[in-house]
Structure 1
Amino acid sequence: MKYAVIFKAEINQFDDEYSKMAAKMRDLAIREYDCTEFVATAEGSQEIAISYWDNLEHIKAWKQNAEHLVAQKLGQNKWYKHYTVEVVEVLRRYSSK
């Protein structure tokens, strides 16, 4: 099975620290927790990030990583007005490639 984590947020403020932390968290997910793909974009005050995973255990471990917990707290207190996270099972995937 394949899973996706969908993160949606309303942006409060972004700064240089945010950009560095976002890149670090993306690299951490891929390097240490076997995230297979991680894409994010922002438009206006909205951000969405979708990451893909092969198992739920890696998602849970990544969520509890000490550095990721710091990033989550900064997000709650500084960068985001509010956010939602959904963990979903991918049933099908289509591609033009």
Structure 2
Amino acid sequence: MFVVILKATVADLDQDYMEALEQMKKLAFEEYGCLEFTAMMDGNKRMALSYWESEEQIRKWKENSEHLNTQKIAKQRWYQSYSVQIAQITREYSFNT
């Protein structure tokens, strides 16, 4: 399993952002096999985690034209900066889930 970690400094998260986020989540789950998505905010810092079975799914998602267009808008309007990390999960522990 793989996780994509998006860390961003946000500028202005308006209603358009919320609608784009919902559309991107729907697309990721329905067409590219995203397993889970979680996001959190702390002040103007945002972190989003998405989980995937394969790097191939992540690559295809990254190349989707609608996703690329949304990224372009995000750079112009919603994010001051961001970074993306992709990691393979090799072990998982849990308690009371």
TM-score band by shorter chain is over 0.9
Instruction: Tell me the residue number matched to 1:79.
Output: 78
Instruction: Tell me the residue number matched to 2:93.
Output: 94
Instruction: Tell me the residue number matched to 2:56.
Output: 57
Could you say what secondary structure the match of 2:12 adopts? coil
Instruction: Tell me the residue number matched to 2:16.
Output: 17
The separation in 1 between residues aligned to 2:41 and 2:25, in whole angstroms, is: 15
What TM-score, normalized by structure 2, do the two folds share? 0.95
Could you say what secondary structure the match of 2:50 adopts? strand
Identical columns (%): 39
Instruction: Tell me the residue number matched to 1:31.
Output: 30
The separation in 2 between residues aligned to 1:64 and 1:89, in whole angstroms, is: 20
What TM-score, normalized by structure 1, do the two folds share? 0.95
The offset of 1:91, in angstroms, is 1.2
**Number of corresponding residues:** 96
Could you say what secondary structure the match of 1:81 adopts? strand
* Unaligned segments of structure 2, at least 5 residues: none
The offset of 1:95, in angstroms, is 1.5
